[in-house]
Amino acid sequence: MKKGILIAYGELFLKSEGVKRLFLQRLTNNLSFFLGKEKIAFKMDSSRDRIFIETDSKKTKKVIERVFGIAWFADAYHLNLKELLAFDYHKQIKKGETFAIRMKKDREVIDKVAKLIDGKVNLDRPKKELFIEKRGESYFLYFKKTKGAGGLPAGSAGKVLAMVSGGIDSVPAAYLSAKRGAENIWVHFHSFPLVSNKSIEKVKELAKVFEKYQKNIKIYLVPFQKIQMEVKAKAPANYRVLLYRRLMLQIAEKIVEREDCGALVTGESLGQVSSQTLANMKITEEGVKIPVLRPLIGMDKEEIIEIAQKIGTFDISIKPQEDCCTLFVPKHQTAKGDLETTKELEKKIDAKSLVEELVGLTLHL
């Protein structure tokens, strides 16, 4: 009899056999990496449409619950029929307690196990559930399922470039894209040395947290102050943020091409601020050809905060910083910009040359 953790993967069963094999390999590689990172001793078996990790480390479940592509997991026993029928069920189900055995097809095994339990069968509302899965000639026995992170294995759906400001919203957006299998590269726009490097340090700190969900992460740092000063000098105040956002996307597009990413990810939520109205998002997006993904688009602030708290980034994100956009932001901004006006303002500040210059000055960690 072996003791460990049984893992059920989620959406992989919807894939073709070839894709399923590739995704399963990615999932087992990710599990091996994160368990190894925590120096956990384990043996892994990924046959029989389940993953079984033989281990006695108490830290294992903390690692598994963060790995994308897992529907649920459970403390489990891997045993043969003789061991199944010799198992001491009284440690799990007390005398007189109601219970239900959840097992497909094998009525004979269900009846034999039920006779070993000094309790009362209640299939509708049992106090305890006992799960048995037959896989080949052996069995998995477990008593409680824990919900996994869900989604698809990290790195199985290509690469995206996530715009990370250091605020609350952007990392949850990056997290949700990673949950769908996208490997994240980050880009951060900063105003150092016009302001302190607090935002840069915050993004580095956030990246360390994010590496609980992704093996490693590359961060591009874009010095944005020259564009800000040009925009402030040559564009009306109510169009500044719109121009900042539009030029950020154009710079990001160059990095997307360099890194062969499939899309850009932003932390925008519809209507949260004036630059995130439908009209203004259309204007900022019009300047680039790449897909712009907005995982938070339909969420309110409380929902976004809940994700940030869950993944461990909220307390870092609320630390004070001088944001590159707020540095030159006026009190009143347009909620419905005009595309032609925006394009004329871009020509006035020679945006194309500025974008090329800043791409050349961009560093990465």
DSSP string, 290-334: S-EE-TTTT--HHHHHHHHHHHT-HHHHTS----TTGGG--S---
Q: 81-97 in b/e burial notation, b at 16+ Cβ within 10 A?
A: eeebeebebeebbeeeb
Q: Which helix (H) or strand (E) holds 133?
A: strand 128-135
Is the distance from CB of 177 to CB of 184 less than 8 angstroms? yes
**Whole-number pLDDT of residue 329:** 62
Cα angle 140, 142, 146; round to 5: 120
- Please give the Cα distance from 235 to 240 (Å, whole number): 7
Q: Tell me the domain boundaries of the chain.
A: 2-150, 159-364
Q: Which residues pair with 7 in a beta bridge?
A: 51, 73
- Please give the Cα distance from 159 to 258 (Å, whole number): 12
| Contacts (Cβ under 8 Å, ≥6 apart) of 237 | 330, 332, 333
Q: Which residues pair with 293 in a beta bridge?
A: 265
Output the CA–CA distances (angstroms, integers) from residue 339 to 68, 115, 278, 287, in the order listed: 40, 75, 13, 10
Q: Which amino acid is at 87?
A: F
**Whole-number pLDDT of residue 205:** 97
Q: Which helix (H) or strand (E) holds 263?
A: strand 263-265
Per-residue pLDDT at 48 exceeds 90: no
Is the distance from CB of 193 to CB of 171 less than 8 angstroms? no
| Contacts (Cβ under 8 Å, ≥6 apart) of 57 | 40, 41, 42
Nearest-10 Cα torsion for 328, 329, 335, 338: -20
- Please give the Cα distance from 93 to 139 (Å, whole number): 19
Q: For domain 159-364, give the CATH number.
A: 3.40.50.620
Per-residue pLDDT at 93 exceeds 70: yes
pLDDT, mean of residues 355-362: 89
pLDDT band for position 324 (cuts 50, 70, 90): low
pLDDT, mean of residues 331-348: 89
Q: For domain 2-150, give the CATH number.
A: 3.30.2130.30
- Residues above pLDDT 70, as percent of the chain: 96
DSSP 164-183: --SSTTHHHHHHHHHHBTPE
pLDDT, mean of residues 184-207: 91
- Please give the Cα distance from 100 to 28 (Å, whole number): 32
- Please give the Cα distance from 148 to 30 (Å, whole number): 14
Is the distance from CB of 333 to CB of 238 less than 8 angstroms? yes
**Whole-number pLDDT of residue 330:** 61
pLDDT digits (tens, 9 = 90+) for 148-173: 999 999 999 999 999 999 999 999 99
Is the distance from CB of 168 to CB of 308 less than 8 angstroms? yes
321 or 190, which is more confident: 190
Q: Is the peptide bond before 193 cis (omega within 30 degrees of 0)?
A: yes
Per-residue pLDDT at 328 exceeds 70: no
Per-residue pLDDT at 326 exceeds 60: no
